[in-house]
Chains A and B, each alone.
Chain A
Amino acid sequence: MIKDITLGQYFPSDSIIHRLDPRFKIVIMIVYMIMLFSGDSLICLGIGTLYTLISVVMTKISFKLYIKSIKPIFPFLIFTALLNIFFIKDGDIYFQWKFIKITSSGVDTSIFMIVRIVLLLIGTSVLTYTTSPIVLTDAIERLLNPLKKIKFPVHELAMIMSIALRFIPTLIEETDKIISAQKARGAELDSGNLIAKTKGLIPILIPLLISSFRRAEELATAMECRCYNGGDGRTRLRQMKSGISDYIALFFTVLFFIAVIIINHIIK
C-alpha cells in the first residue's frame, strides 16, 4: 500500500538536537557540508566521522534508522566506487592484470567519495529526523527573508511547500481509494508491458488531477475568507527562539570546521 511510505521521516523525541532552533540547524548543516568537502586527508575525514557520530548519538534515534537512510543508494555507491577504482590511473600501482590497473589514487578517491556521501546522508538525516518538514520549511522561509528585498518570492514558495506537505497524506489516501475503485471495475494496474502499464495509469491520474484542482480552488476560497493576502504584514504563531544551546552547537561545529582546515593546511 502507498500509505506505508513515510514522508518527511520525522521522528519526534525530546533530544537536545530536536530542541535546537531549526534555523541554526540549517546553518550548521551548511557548515557541516563545507567541512566534509574541505579536508582531503584521512584525519580530516576522521574528524568529520567523529562529528557525525556525536550528532547521531545526541539525537537519541536508533542507529538502524540511519542505516536505513543509506540503504537505497548503496548499489549506486558501490558502482561509482568501482568506476573510480578502475578508471583512475594515477599514483602507485597496487595491482595490475592485463588492462586492469588499480592505483593508490583510485582507491583513495573511492574511499573518500563513499565516506563523504555516507556522512552527508547521515547528516541530512540528523536534520530531517529531528525537524518536522513543516518547521523546516518555516525556518528556510525565515532564513531567506532578506531575499524579499530583491523581490524573491520567499513567502509564496514557503506557502506552496507547506500546503504541499499538508496535502500529501490526503492525496495519498485519495490515490489509494481511486486505485481500489478502478480495480473494482476490473482495471489491471500491474500487468502487461510498459505501454499497457502506462495506459493503466490514466484511470487513476485523471480523477486525481481533477480532484486536486477542485481542492485547490476550494482551498483558495477558504484562504481568502480567512483574510489571506500574501506575506505582507503577517505575524506568526510559531515563534523561533534561539538560545545558548544553539550558539554552543554552532560554536562546536565551527570549531570542528576550523580544525579540519588547519589540519588540512599542515599536512599539505
Chain B
Amino acid sequence: MAEIKIMENIIKTENLKFNYQNGSEEKPIINEVLKDINIEIKKGEFVAVLGHNGSGKSTFAKHLNAILLPCSGKVYINNIDTADDDNLFNIRKCAGMVFQNPDNQIVASIVEEDVAFALENMGVPYEEMRKRVDDALKAVGMYDYRFHSPNQLSGGQKQRVAIAGIIAMRPECIILDEPTAMLDPQGRREVMKTIKTLNKECGITIVLITHYMNEAVECGRVVVMDNGRIVFDDTPENVFSNVEEIRKIGLDIPQTTELIYLLNKEGLGLDSHIITEEQCINAIERLLK
C-alpha cells in the first residue's frame, strides 16, 4: 500500500495556459506567460523549477496555490481542481506557499504568533494549535526564538519562520517562490538545509522555484522553464550536461560541469554528467594520473 501511495501525484497540470492582458480594451496586447504546461509531481519529490526572470516560473508557482487560475487547461492539487472555489482553503492547506521577501509575509509581531496565523484563521482549537506551532518551530530550528520579534531576526531566520507558518498547516507540499533570492549565503544555507530536512524527514513534497543553479543541483529533479514552456525536466546531472542550451537560456551551470565541458572541447572525452565536487575531483585525478 505504502509504495502505491508514494507514486501518487500531488501536483498535476494539463495543458496549463496563462496570459496577461495589457493595452487598451479595443486593442488588447496578449502576453502569453505560460504556454501549455504539462507536469506531474509525485508525493515526496524534491523538484527545482529553474528559470530566468520572466521565464514564467513564478506565474507557474502561483497556479499551484490557486493565487492565479489557468486561462485554459487544468491544475490539480491532490486531485482537486484549483478552479473549484469551494475547495480553495483545502488547496491552500495542502500546498503551502513561501514567498521571496521574508519581511512581507510575516504578519504578527511575535514569532510564535506568526506561525499560528494560519491555524487561527482555520479555527484550530487552542490545545492542538499550541502543539502544532511548537512542532513547526522545532522542525525549522526556530523554537528558541519563539518569543522574538521578527525584526530581531536575520533574513534566513525570518524565512524559516515563514516556512514554519506554512508547515503548521500540515501541508503535503510546500511551494517556495525564490525563497533565497534576498538572503546572504548563510541564510541561503539555512533555508536549503531546512527544506531538505522537511523533505527527507517529514516526507513533504518540495517545489523550489529558483534561479540559483547551485540550489537546483541539490534537488532530485530539475525542471527548466524558458519563455513559458518547460524545456528540460530531468535529473540535475542530465539537465546541466546540456551546457550550451542552459547558458543560452541565461542560466548558470556549476563550475565543475563547466570545467569538464571546456576540457571535453579539447577532446578529452570526460563524462559530461559531472556536477558535484566529488565527481569532478575524481575525474581530474583519473585524468592526471
Contacts and interface: CB of A to CB of B under 8 A. Distances in A.
Interface in A197-242: 214-215, 218-219, 221-229, 233-239
Interface residues of A, number: 29
A218 B96 CA distance: 15
Contacts of B107: 163, 166, 219, 222-223, 226
Contacts of B119: 235, 237
A220 to B, nearest CB: 10
A215 B104 CA distance: 6
Given A234-B123, A237-B113, A222 B104 contact: yes
A236 B151 CA distance: 22
Given A225-B92, A226-B169, A234 B121 contact: yes
B151 A225 contact: no
B151 A170 contact: yes
Contacts of A222: 97, 99, 104-105, 107
A237 B166 contact: no
B67 interface: yes
Interface in A133-178: 134, 162-163, 165-166, 169-170, 173
Interface stretch (B71-79, B124-132, B249-257): B124-132
Nearest to A239: B126
Nearest to A159: B107
A235 B126 contact: yes
Nearest to B62: A221
Contacts of A134: 108-110
B99 A227 contact: no
Contacts of A221: 67, 99
A237 B130 contact: yes
B126 A237 contact: yes
A226 B117 contact: yes
Contacts of A173: 151
A116 to B, nearest CB: 33
Contact of A218 (B101, B109, B122, B124): B101
Which of A162, A163, A166, A236 counts the most B-chain CB atoms under 10 A from its CB?
A166
Contact of A237 (B96, B99, B109, B116): B116
A229 B121 contact: yes
Contacts of B117: 223, 226, 228
B128 to A, nearest CB: 9
A218 B120 contact: no
Contact of A236 (B93, B99, B126, B169): B126
Contact of B96 (A225, A233, A238): A225
B150 interface: yes
B89 interface: yes
A229 B92 CA distance: 12
B238 to A, nearest CB: 33
B226 interface: no
A234 B125 CA distance: 9
Nearest to B112: A237
Given A233-B123, A234-B123, A236-B120, 19 more contacts: A132-B109, A134-B110, A214-B104, A215-B103, A218-B99, A219-B104, A221-B67, A222-B97, A223-B107, A225-B67, A226-B118, A226-B165, A227-B92, A227-B93, A227-B122, A235-B119, A235-B129, A237-B119, A239-B126
Interface of B: 65, 67, 89, 92-93, 96-97, 99, 101, 103-110, 112-113, 116-126, 129-130, 133, 149-151, 165-166, 169
11 contacts: A134-B108, A162-B109, A169-B151, A170-B103, A214-B104, A225-B65, A225-B97, A228-B121, A235-B125, A235-B129, A237-B130
